[in-house]
Amino acid sequence: MGNKYTVYKSDISYFSGKLEAYLRYKEIPHTLVDCDSKVMQMIAGKTGTAKMPAIEMDSGQWLCDTTPMMQWLEEKHPNPPIYPQDPALRFVALLIEDYGDEWLWRPAMWWRWVPKTSRTTLGRRIAASMVSKSLAIPLGAYVARRQLNEWLWKDGVDSNNSLDVRDMFFRELEFLEPLLQDQQFMLGSHPSAADFGYFGSMFRHFGNDPISAEVMRREGPNTYEWLARMWNARHSKLNQSIDWVWPEADYWKPLLQRIAKDYLPYLHQNALAFSQGKKRFDYRGDSLAFIGTVTTDYRVWCRQELQREFSQLNTEDQQRLEQLFTPAGGISSLHQDGVIDSGLDQHFQLPVDPQSINHTPTLAQKLFGQPRN
C-alpha cells in the first residue's frame, strides 16, 4: 500500500467504517492511523474540527467529512463509480446515503449506549484510547454516561419515544432483508453511495456492538452477510460491467415512505428552526416525534446539498423522482420554504489547507473529539 493518503480513524467509529470500506473497495492506497486524544488535537489544528475520520495527503492538505470526502476522491479515482450515471438514480443514491448517515444515527446511538453491556464495553474501549488501563474503567463509565446524554436524552429521546428509536433498527432490517436476498448490493451489482451510507451504522454499530450484533445475526442474516460482502468488496474482483437497478420493487416502499414522511420533514423542520435562530425544536414526523431536539447546522447543509443536486436535474429526471416518491408521500418537504443557507459551504470545500485554519479546541474537544453533527 502506498502512502499518498494517511487515514486517521477509529475501529469503533461510525464514519471511519464507512470511509474504510470505500477505500478498500476502490483499492485506493492508504495508511491507517488510530486516533487517540493527541491525534484528535492534531486533526483539530489541521482541519478546524476534532472529528474522525480525516485524511492527510502528502501535499500537506487534508480531507474531512465522509460525504464530500468521497465525492472529492471520486474525481481523482473515478473507476469504478459509486454514483450511477443515470442522473435520477444518482440522486436516489445520494439521498439514501444522507438518510443512512443522519437518520440512522439515533438508533445506532440507542443500541450502543442504552443496553448496559454495550454501554460498559464501548465506554471502556473509548477511555482506553485516552488514558492508562488503570483509569479506563472509571473514565469509561463517565464516557458512556456522557455519550448517552449527549446523543439521546439531551437530543429529543425520552421515555415516550425511546422504544420507538430502538425499533428503528428493526424497521431497517425489515427493508434490507428482502432487498439483499434479491441482489448483492442496494442499487444493483456493485456498491454505490447508498451502500456506503447504510454501512456506517450497520457495520461499526449494529453489526459489531455486542447486543445489536446478536440481533442482526438472528433477525437480519442477509444484512449481516452484506456487511461482510461490503467489507471484503474489491472492484478488481467484481464484473467490470455495472448493472444498476431502479428502486421500484415492492420492498422499497417502506424505506421510501420513511424518507418522504419522516426524514425529509425532519430536514425541513431542522432547517426552519435554524433560520429562526432556535437552538432546539420539536420535531414531528409521520411515525416519530423528538421534543426539544437539537438544531444542527450540518443537517441544514445536508438538505441544501440535496436541493442543489435536485435543481441540477432536467425536468424529465425530476419527474421520474416525483413519480417514484408520490405513492410514498412525495418529496415536497425537500422544497418547502425554499433553500435555507447553512453557511457551511466554505467549510466543506476540499481539500483543506491547514495554513488557513485558526482553531482553539475546548477541553472537552481535546479529550473526546467534536460532536459529529
The radius of gyration of the chain's CA atoms, rounded to the nearest angstrom, is 20
Helix (H) or strand (E) holding 144: helix 133-148
Q: What percent of the chain has pLDDT over 90?
A: 88
Rounded CA-CA distance 185/233 in Å is 11
Domain 5-109+161-368: which CATH number of 1.20.1050.130, 3.40.50.1100, 2.30.30.60, 1.10.10.10: 1.20.1050.130
Residue 362 has pLDDT above 70, yes or no: no
Q: 141-169, pLDDT tens digit by residue?
A: 999 999 999 999 999 999 999 999 999 99
For position 134, what pLDDT does the model report?
Answer: 80
**Can you tell me the distance from the alpha carbon of 155 to that of 158, in angstroms, rounded to the nearest whole number?**
9
pTM: 0.94
Confidence band for 235, pLDDT divided at 50, 70 and 90: very high
Residue 175 and residue 249 in contact, taking contact as beta carbons nearer than 8 Å? no
Q: Residue 360's pLDDT is what?
A: 61
Strands 5-9 and 31-34: parallel
Residue 1, pLDDT score = 41
Structural domain boundaries in the chain: 5-109+161-368
111, 112, 177, 224, 306 from 220: Cα distances, Å: 15, 18, 6, 6, 30
Q: What is the pLDDT of residue 363?
A: 57
CA distance 305 to 300: 9
User: At 355, is the pLDDT very low, low, confident or very high (cuts 50, 70, 90)?
Assistant: confident
Bridge-partner residues for 289, per DSSP? 284
Return left, alpha or beta for 56; rule: phi > 0 is left, psi -120 to 50 is alpha, else beta.
beta
For the record, the C-alpha cell of 100 comes out as 443512512
- Mean model confidence pLDDT for the chain: 94
User: In this structure, what C-alpha cell is assigned to residue 343?
Assistant: 453557511
Q: Residue 226's pLDDT is what?
A: 98
- In the predicted structure, residue 364 carries a pLDDT above the cut 60: no
- Give exposure, 191-207, as e/b (b: 16+ Cβ within 10 Å): bbbbbbbbbbbbbbbbb
| Tens-digit pLDDT profile for residues 203-225 | 999 999 999 999 999 999 999 99
